[in-house]
Structure 1
Amino acid sequence: MKTLLRGICVAALLGGGSASAQAADMVVAMPSWPSGQATANIIKTALEDALKIKVDVQEMGTLIAFTGLDDGGIDVYPEVWRPNFDPLVKKYVDERGTVHLSKHDVAATQGLCVTQKAYDQGVRDVADLKDPEKAKLFDTDGDGKGEMWIGARGWLSTDVERIRAKSYGYADTMTLLEMPEEVAMSGIDAAVATDRPIAFYCYSPHHVFELHDIKRLSEPAYDPAKWNVVLQADDPMWLSKSDAPVAWKPSSFSLAYATSLAKRLPAAASFLDKMDLEPEEITAMSYAIEVEQQDPASYALKWVAEHKDRVKGWLQ
């Protein structure tokens, strides 16, 4: 795929196309969530400056990104969340060997959260969501069911949250909403401002915990024997075949790149292996992109300029 795309760009140049059009030396797949957008652009900015190569950043979903990493169309994916992407890691990292994961993990959490208002009204455990009376606390359209955001369309965690809703039983009392994260975060801001209860899928590192008094719902501890998740992409009957009536496994995320990159651009691969971001930095990135509405590319330029020694260390 990448060879074809690069060939098209070269052909455009030879055929009298714009002189600015040139094939990228490296392609970074950018997730839709804010920290992933920031990290993708930091990689681009740092490597273009240090290695004098052209790096393209392209927004795309996780499944498409892993397919690209496998066939050579994509070089880097900045945030591989686990256990969300474990089936993809097993297929492309462990079995096919076409994708490499950085050894630097960022500790993370995933689960269900409510605002302080909801917590004060007695919604403190996941079981409370399947109580019809308590679910009505989150009803904004008058249909008798509550509403809650479970993630953006295309996120693997969104499928898992739909499975968990079915498994716990609150799929019957709550309308499960899929929408872009920035829309969901605006809804949380509005709920807090109007002292209205709201429930939603939450993950950290994330700026929402800095902005508001957010409470995590308690739930049964993770049990691998009870966690049976089938990906939507693998089976049309994925939802009926899946069951996960327990909390998420302790989570983390790391950077991934195509194994072939180590041979084609070894300096870039070495940089990616050394890149180590801390949870508080991820939170700051999330805040800058989503709350302050900073452009990811512009933010990356400033971040790299302010962390010259750090970036230099990754390049050595």
Structure 2
Amino acid sequence: MTDFTRRGAFKVAAGGLAVAGGVIAMPSVLRAATYPSRPINVIVPFATGGYNDRLSRAFAPYLEKELGQPLVIVNKPGAGTQLGNSYALNQPADGYSILCTSAAPYIPLTVLLQNAPYKVQDFTMLNLPSRDYTLAATSADSPIKTFAQVIEKLKADPTSLSIGVQPASADYANMVLAFQAAEIDPTKLRIVTYDGGGPARNATAGAQVDVGFVGGEGFLPLKTKVRPLAIFADQTVEWYPEAPLLAASGVKSDFVEGSQRGWAVTTKLKEEQPEIYKTIAAAVERASKNPKAIETLKLQDLATTWFGPEASNKAYLDNATKMAKYVDLLK
């Protein structure tokens, strides 16, 4: 027996279960056997209306069916997701709080730039179906047809084109890396910054800037209003197949992935309640593969692709490592 303190003293109940402060403390195997027995909170570290909020609400009915309990969407925006992340980590590791979030770039960014009171490894990915990539684009009626033309113009005169981008983002880092690879000094460019991807996309589609560097998925509703010039990915992206790869422009540049959105839990839950973790992961997998869920989310330009915990975690941690490599650009 471990030492007891007055505050944490246990009394043995009739059924052999320990009682602390009136709450039955069941062994983890018994908790897993009765899980879930009440509604589950889905913590979204963003305000309503964004991709993760829409994903959580559209996917909820299908995940509820698999778990057998209602899901309650809890929006906790603020400090670049730090408030929501901290809130999630402060919840009991009992499976009644899960995350629907843009794990990257936001968790690494809060760690690298905001001294967040947690580590990248404190979160475990269940599935990241949405893998966004930086897209360099221009308005549909722009005279610019290719990214090679952008490079040509900027080499001749770095101020000849205006560039729209969100600062301290993966898109900004990718823009700088690409121009450096093309031997263009980013400090001489005419850069217009926007407080968010939405305003930057609207400025690109409306020809308020000549070229925008923003997450490609957000451009999908604007596809008829923009011309994709280069997508920062290693292979053709299935949800934007007409977007040329950056390498096709002749620019050989490293890059970081944009938003990796989807479902996560705290690593503490996985370590302390492995059976509950498995239950949640299996439920997310079944819901992700549900044909009705796939159809419903596709109509809203939302992703359900099942990559699974192993692949999702690898993508998340690899991206975090690469972001740490280019942290000076993110600053």
Tell me if structure 2 keeps the 8 A contact 1:66–1:88. Answer: no
**Deviation of 1:177 (Å):** 0.7
2:220 paired with 1:202: no
**Deviation of 1:29 (Å):** 1.8
**Counterparts in 2 of 1:86 and 1:100: CA distance versus 1, 3 Å:** same
| Alignment equivalent of 1:149, drawn from 154, 164, 173 | 164
**Deviation of 1:39 (Å):** 0.9
Q: Percent identity?
A: 7
Tell me if structure 1 keeps the 8 A contact 2:139–2:205. Answer: no
2:52 paired with 1:29: no
2:264 paired with 1:246: no
Tell me if structure 2 keeps the 8 A contact 1:106–1:279. Answer: no
Aligned residue number for residue 192 of structure 2: 176
2:91 paired with 1:76: no
Aligned residue number for residue 124 of structure 1: 148
Moved more, 24-33 or 105-114: 24-33
- Deviation track 1:235-276 (CA, whole Å, cap 9, x = no partner) reads xxxxxxxxxx82425667343222345649655454335453
State the distance in 1 between where 2:200 and 2:91 align: 34
* One-letter amino acid of the structure 1 residue matched with residue 284 of structure 2: L
**Deviation of 1:85 (Å):** 5.8
Runs of 5+ consecutive residues of structure 2 not aligned to the other structure: 1-38, 236-251, 303-331
Normalised to the residue count of structure 2, the TM-score between the two structures is 0.49
**Deviation of 1:38 (Å):** 0.8
Tell me if structure 1 keeps the 8 A contact 2:102–2:259. Answer: no
* One-letter amino acid of the structure 1 residue matched with residue 100 of structure 2: Y
State the distance in 2 between where 1:212 and 1:35 align: 20
**Deviation of 1:58 (Å):** 2.6
**Counterparts in 2 of 1:41 and 1:172: CA distance versus 1, 3 Å:** same
Normalised to the residue count of structure 1, the TM-score between the two structures is 0.51
* One-letter amino acid of the structure 1 residue matched with residue 122 of structure 2: T
2:273 paired with 1:257: no
Runs of 5+ consecutive residues of structure 1 not aligned to the other structure: 1-23, 139-145, 223-244, 288-316
Tell me if structure 2 keeps the 8 A contact 1:29–1:65. Answer: yes
- Deviation track 1:143-197 (CA, whole Å, cap 9, x = no partner) reads xxx2x3213x6x6425525754784523322223122333333323433xxxx76
State the distance in 1 between where 2:233 and 2:43 align: 38
Task: Describe the SS at the equivalent of 1:40.
Answer: helix
- Deviation track 1:9-56 (CA, whole Å, cap 9, x = no partner) reads xxxxxxxxxxxxxxx852412446832221122355555674035442
**Deviation of 1:101 (Å):** 0.9
Describe how 1:1-316 pairs up with structure 2 within 5 A: 25-31=40-46, 34-44=50-60, 50-52=68-70, 54-60=72-78, 61-72=80-91, 75-81=98-104, 97-103=121-127, 105-120=129-144, 124=148, 127-128=151-152, 130-131=154-155, 133=157, 135-136=159-160, 138=161, 146=162, 148-151=163-166, 156-158=169-171, 160-161=173-174, 163-164=176-177, 167=180, 168-191=184-207, 198-206=210-218, 207-208=220-221, 210-217=223-230, 246-249=253-256, 253=260, 254-261=262-269, 263=273, 267-276=279-288, 284-285=299-300
**Counterparts in 2 of 1:46 and 1:55: CA distance versus 1, 3 Å:** farther
State the distance in 2 between where 1:198 and 1:77 align: 34
**Deviation of 1:126 (Å):** 5.4
Task: Describe the SS at the equivalent of 1:149.
Answer: strand
**Counterparts in 2 of 1:104 and 1:159: CA distance versus 1, 3 Å:** closer
Tell me if structure 2 keeps the 8 A contact 1:221–1:246. Answer: no
- Deviation track 1:93-144 (CA, whole Å, cap 9, x = no partner) reads xx875321125544543242223444537763553463464743x4xxxxxx
Tell me if structure 1 keeps the 8 A contact 2:135–2:229. Answer: yes
Moved more, 180-189 or 158-167: 158-167
Tell me if structure 2 keeps the 8 A contact 1:69–1:258. Answer: yes
State the distance in 2 between where 1:283 and 1:169 align: 40
